[in-house]
Amino acid sequence: MAKKVLPGVHPSNAKNTTHLAPVRMATPAQVVIPMSQHIGAPCQPVVNIGDSVKVGQLIGEATGRVAAPIHASVSGKVTAVDKITLPSGNISVTVTIAADGEQTPYEGITPPTVTDYDSFIEAVRASGAVGLGGAGFPTSIKLCPPDLSAVDTLVVNGAECEPYITSDYQIMMHHSEYVLAGIAAVRKYLELSRVEMGVEEHNSDIIAHYKNLTADDPAFTVHTLKCLYPKGAEKVLIYETLGRVVEEGKLPFDVGCIVMNVGTLAFIGSYLATGMPLVEKVVTVDGSAIREPKTLIVPVGTKAGDIAAAAGGYKAELGKIISGGPMMGIALKSEDMPLLKSNNALLFLDVEEATPPPTTSCIRCGRCVRVCPVYLMPLNLERAYNLGLVDELEKLKVNLCIECGCCSYICPTRRPLVATHRLSKQLLRESKK
């Protein structure tokens, strides 16, 4: 029996940078590198003010199990060890490096020696890899499921369904050798029997390219996904490619798979070949306020204002900066906020686009229910939160919400439903404590 099509919405693609190949931005005058760039324990700085550092040199040591080390993205001198409030609201120690413009690689950079599963996991951990298309979960932990023998499939996320963002497209198109090398390594050392890759149908050139590259591999399937947001959400992608359902409270390995973004896989392929840790990102720079939309290769820790300047500056008054896409992205409080490892886009919106429309009362139209990809009832969740009905929030399964933003997008009264769902989850967590 054919799988049913999961609900979703059709936001404007606005993929203005699809045909703009990545270009390396000029080295910024300084970078501010937070020691907390992933889910889990923050890193501890191992450099001091006045120290000289080189590209790829360790500056933040991972002290917890769920952590990923942090490396210098520019060569130069450490000028400050300070603190910053991240977009998540967490306070993080930062290391500021004044760049010398030379981008001198650290002498210790060398490809890792990988011979088996354990050495592969250690290499991934040492690389500083985190999920490059989502919340920044340390990749070495993702590759260590409780029961590896129960996992048979690597699901490759090439959907990139958010409007504007094309960084994954650029990686898939211009660095396919690294994407495939990363896939091959994960497949080999985790002994996975299948690879299922999902790409949205509007990227027909990518689909044809990877079908051609993998034509001789019967265990590698490239799926053509409908252009219906949010096809790139982890649970949605697993269902679309494997037909498996991840239940509430469960993770992908509970249904026998590991999901990885193409950017993360390409980085692993590159690291195994070069030994250069995660120090730069391919970033989509776009939005109604930016003068020249571009795809830039940006050192981690570069300030948002410097990235905007590398894209020609502003053509209109800046109203808001969003890290990520307009559906699930997070607003930055200023141009001084640094680029994190997990950031794949910066959108600079003008005042008009950044001003939210007025909110009115719910008219009970049910549109939010019809578009929810995990079949929740957003209007009932909002009511339960406003009334403080914690038991009702749990009964309505608010923790299943993937925060895709479909409900807020489709709501004719412009109610901030997804923001309410986030607060509902927090309320539920606090009540359980």
Each residue's pLDDT tens digit, 299-324: 999 999 999 999 999 999 999 999 99
Residue 241 in domain: yes
Average pLDDT of the segment spanning 342-356: 95
Distance of CA 271 to CAs 65, 110, 111, 286, Å? 21, 9, 7, 28
Q: According to the model, what pLDDT value does residue 172 have?
A: 97
Domains contained in the chain, number: 2
For residue range 138-160, what is the model confidence (pLDDT) as tens digits? Answer: 999 999 999 999 999 999 999 99
pLDDT (mean) for 192-199: 98
Q: What is the overall mean pLDDT for the chain?
A: 95
For residue 387, the tally of other CB atoms under 10 A from its CB is 10
Residues 384 and 253 placed together within one structural domain of the fold: no
134 pLDDT more than 70: no
- Residue 74 domain-assigned (yes or no): no
Lowest mean pLDDT among 79-83, 180-184, 327-331: 327-331
Task: Determine the pLDDT at residue 91.
Answer: 93
Q: Is residue 107 part of a domain?
A: no
The verdict on residue 189 lying in a domain is yes
Does 249 reside within a domain?
A: yes
3-state secondary structure of 154: strand
In a domain, 160, yes or no: yes
Question: Are 379 and 263 found together in one domain?
Answer: no
Token reading at 372: 């929810």
- pLDDT at res. 1: 40
Average pLDDT over residues 196-202: 96
Shared-domain flag, residues 148 and 265? yes
Q: Of 274, 291, 323, which residue sits at a domain end?
A: 274
Query: Per the domain annotation, does 380 fall within a domain?
Result: yes
Cβ neighbours for 40, distance < 8 A, ≥ 6 positions apart: 64, 65, 66, 67, 68, 137, 138, 141
Q: Does the pLDDT value for residue 2 go beyond 60?
A: no
What are 205-245's pLDDT values in tens digits?
999 999 999 999 999 999 999 999 999 999 999 999 999 99
Tens of pLDDT, residue by residue over 106-124, are 999 999 999 999 999 999 9
Residue 133 has pLDDT above 80, yes or no: no
Q: Look up the pTM and report it.
A: 0.94
Show which of 274, 299, 327 is a domain's final residue.
274
Four-point Cα dihedral 96, 101, 106, 109, nearest 10? 110
Residues spanned by the domain of 224: 117-274
CATH number, domain containing residue 133 = 3.40.50.11540
